[in-house]
Amino acid sequence: MKILLTSSSRHGSTDEVAAVIAERLQAAKIDVDIKRPEDVDVVDGYDAFILGSAVYMTKWTPEAVDFTERFHESLKARPVWAFSVGLSGLPKGKVSDPMRIGPVLLAIDPEDHVTFPGRFDPSKLSLRERSIARLGGASEGDYRDWDQVRQWADAIATSLYDNTLTARRGNG
């Protein structure tokens, strides 16, 4: 089983979430390649995909959206999981609109999509980004729930393992 995990991050938070997901999958003996979506030229040879993106202004990054468009047919033909990172300023990291990136995900019909709260560190943002965040009421802090990230990765590993067993039984 070989997985491609793409991560589109602006300030590192999404990449850090992706690293924890990859670590958990690798601990479950799953072969994982981690790449930025813009660095992927071909997806042949992968059995499944995990796509992650930071969310800005209610949308995935252009690089993540472009990846889903370039490899649409392959993504529709194999299992895909998706995660978004953002909305750190919401109380307790609650998501107010889980479909805000709906058009991208509807096009690929993932097995699951989860939104993880992110980190808001104004020192890493441009003046424009800081202004938008302040207007949106973002609160400084790291809201990432690492246990939630690990549990989600473990659920993917279990699903991949179960699918592999079912496929083997079907061939035997």
pLDDT grade for 167, boundaries at 50, 70 and 90: low
Look at strands 31-35 and 2-8 and give their pairing.
parallel
Report pLDDT for 166.
56
Residue 6 scores a pLDDT above 50: yes
The confidence score (pLDDT) of residue 89 equals 43
Bridge partners of 82, per DSSP, are 51, 113
CA distances, 13 to each of 3, 84, 86, 116, 146 (Å): 21, 11, 9, 10, 12
Q: Over the stretch 80-130, which tens digit does the pLDDT of each residue have?
A: 999 999 854 444 444 444 445 556 776 788 899 888 988 877 777 778 877
**Which position has the higher pLDDT, 167 or 127?**
127
- Per-residue burial over 56-76, b if 16 or more Cβ lie within 10 Å, else e, is eeebbbebbbebbeebeebbe
Q: What is the pLDDT of residues 30-77, one digit of tens each?
A: 999 999 999 999 999 999 999 999 887 778 889 999 999 999 999 999
The pTM of the full predicted model, rounded to 2 decimals, is 0.82
Among 52, 37, 66, which residue's Cα sits nearest to residue 110?
A: 52
Say whether pLDDT at 7 is over 80: yes
How is residue 51 written in tokens? 């796509």
Averaged pLDDT for residues 117-144: 76
How much is the pLDDT for 144? 87
What is the per-residue pLDDT for 98? Answer: 46
Contact 67, 5 (CB under 8 A): no
- Residue 104's contacts (CB-CB under 8 Å, 6 or more residues apart) are 60, 64, 65, 68
Q: Looking at residue 87, what is its pLDDT?
A: 59
Q: List Cα–Cα distances, 165 to 47, 154, 160, 162, 171, in angstroms.
A: 14, 16, 9, 5, 10
